[in-house]
Amino acid sequence: MNTADLIIIGGGQAGLATAYEALARGQQPIVLDAAKGPGGSWPKYYDSLKLFSPARYSALPGLPFPGNPNRYPSRDETIAYLADYAYRLDAEVCQNERVHAVTAGREGFLVKTSRGAEFRAPRMVIATGSFGNPWTPAIPGMETFAGRILHSADYRRPDDFADGRIVVVGGGNSAVQIAVELARTAKVSIATRQPLRWQQQRILGRDFHWWLDRTGLDRARSGLLLAKHGTPVIDDGGYRSAVRAHRPDRRAMFTRFTDDGVMWADGSFEPVDVIILATGFLPDVSFLPLVALNSSGAPLHKEGLSTAVPGLGYVGLERQRMFASATLRGVGPDARHVLDALGTLGTVFSWPGTKQAADVDG
């Protein structure tokens, strides 16, 4: 039996930031990560992904992102940064430990992994993000479509799609970035229910994120209004120019699948080879007891604190507390908020071999 002051489930950006903040409070956490290596979900993202925020606004607490602070780091640079961050932490990070079940009770949290290991702690933070739970919308006729349907989580590179007819469903940053990349060698459309929304990447010579930081909107609750109608596509002009040139084009969402294509909103039919669903993700928390979740399987929480289970917190949920909550720059402040709140609970649970809450409150 493994015991700790705090169990953190998830070893990506949110889990590592939470471990850092726990150590700063004198707590000794155990991080359980389903991945076989460092980097969280980043190794699974498509090859050409670049951060939408500059390096200076893409760091976890205590370690600046290396290199030119004004550049936009690549996926592989981000993986290397997270690996270095994990190496520097004086915390136990257990790779290849996929959580199978969590039991919560008066005695605290008992976590069982698929390898049969067991871990106990008086407090727990879920930092699994959502990449492991892609959301697929129900679209009429989907089950009869003979072509290929994949989620953006399964897209890696354009090589396998050359000369095909492809429809990317979704209007966010990833959808547009993937569609523009594919349109260099294939005929591509972006299908959305609403027109694409654009956010100029640089304003008066400054990156958009500089303005968010200086105005405080990045961290304030009021900043959530920025995302009320969905996250706009951050663009330096290249993506918008590509869409205006119909490489790819944007079309109103199709109404249904047919055996070998789609029926567009104007009633026309078109054969399609591949549908890529860039439709987002849901929180990856299926291992939690049902009492912790709502009827849709999402966490019951307020600003990252469970409203159903004492001693349970979350870090890395989209818009959990502010506009930047699910980003590299946002998980640190949210981890501080959650751990401060959990620390005010006093002695909630204790096992032999774990510190009393009086020792770990920060």
Q: Is 223 contained in some domain?
A: no
Burial 201-233 (b: 16+ CB within 10 A, else e): beeeeebbbbebbeeebbbeeebeebeeeebbb
Q: Are residues 263 and 295 in the same domain?
A: no
pLDDT band at residue 358 using 50, 70 and 90 as cut-offs: very low
Q: Is 208 contained in some domain?
A: no
Q: Is 213 contained in some domain?
A: no
pLDDT exceeds cutoff 70 at 273: yes
Residue 271 CB-density burial (10 A; 0-12 exposed, 13-18 middle, 19+ buried): exposed
Q: Are residues 188 and 98 in the same domain?
A: no
Q: Tens of pLDDT along 121-133?
A: 999 999 998 888 9
pLDDT band at residue 224 using 50, 70 and 90 as cut-offs: low
Give the whole-number percent of the chain exceeding pLDDT 70.
Answer: 91
Q: Which of 220, 250, 277 is the last residue of a domain?
A: 277
Q: Are residues 71 and 161 in the same domain?
A: no
Distance separating alpha carbons of residues 28 and 249, to the nearest angstrom: 52
Enter the tokens of residue 330.
């946002």
The answer to whether 12 and 129 are in contact (CB under 8 A) is yes
* Phi, then psi, of 255 in degrees rounded to 5: -90, -25
E strand intervals along 153-272: 165-169, 187-192, 198-200, 202-203, 206-207, 233-235, 249-252, 256-257, 261-263, 269-271
Q: Are residues 184 and 122 in the same domain?
A: no
Strands 261-263 and 269-271: antiparallel
Q: Tens of pLDDT along 181-212?
A: 999 999 999 999 999 999 998 999 898 888 88
pLDDT band at residue 352 using 50, 70 and 90 as cut-offs: very low
For 293, which DSSP code?
B
pLDDT band at residue 344 using 50, 70 and 90 as cut-offs: low
Q: Is 313 contained in some domain?
A: yes
Residues pairing with 271 in the sheet:
261
Q: Is 212 contained in some domain?
A: no
Q: Is 61 contained in some domain?
A: yes
Q: Are residues 175 and 269 in the same domain?
A: yes
* Mean pLDDT of the chain, nearest integer: 89
The CATH number given to whatever domain includes residue 10 is 3.50.50.60
Enter the tokens of residue 233.
């596509």
Q: Find the DSSP H helices in 216-343.
A: 238-244, 328-343
Q: Are residues 245 and 164 in the same domain?
A: yes
Give long-range contacts, CB 8 A cutoff, 24+ apart: 52-55: 52/173, 52/234, 53/207, 53/209, 53/327, 53/328, 53/329, 54/207, 54/209
| pTM > 0.95 | no
Strands 233-235 and 198-200: parallel
- Which of 114-128, 224-238, 318-332 is modeled with the greatest confidence? 114-128
Picking from 198-212, 214-228, 247-261, which range would have the lowest pLDDT averaged per residue?
214-228
- Host domain of residue 314: 2-133+281-360
Q: Are residues 160 and 287 in the same domain?
A: no
Count of domains for the chain:
2
Closest-CA residue to 210 (of 52, 68, 54, 61): 54
Q: Are residues 163 and 91 in the same domain?
A: no
Q: Are residues 299 and 175 in the same domain?
A: no
Instruction: Give the dihedral of Cα atoms 19, 20, 25, 31; nearest 10 deg.
Output: 10
Enter the tokens of residue 184.
């260099």
Residue found by looking up tokens 């290849």 in the block: 96
Distance separating alpha carbons of residues 348 and 67, to the nearest angstrom: 43
pLDDT exceeds cutoff 70 at 334: yes
Q: Are residues 152 and 41 in the same domain?
A: no
What is the helix, strand, coil percentage profile of the chain, to 5? 25, 25, 50
Residue found by looking up tokens 């004492």 in the block: 310
Q: Is 112 contained in some domain?
A: yes
Q: Are residues 270 and 147 in the same domain?
A: yes
Distance separating alpha carbons of residues 53 and 56, to the nearest angstrom: 8
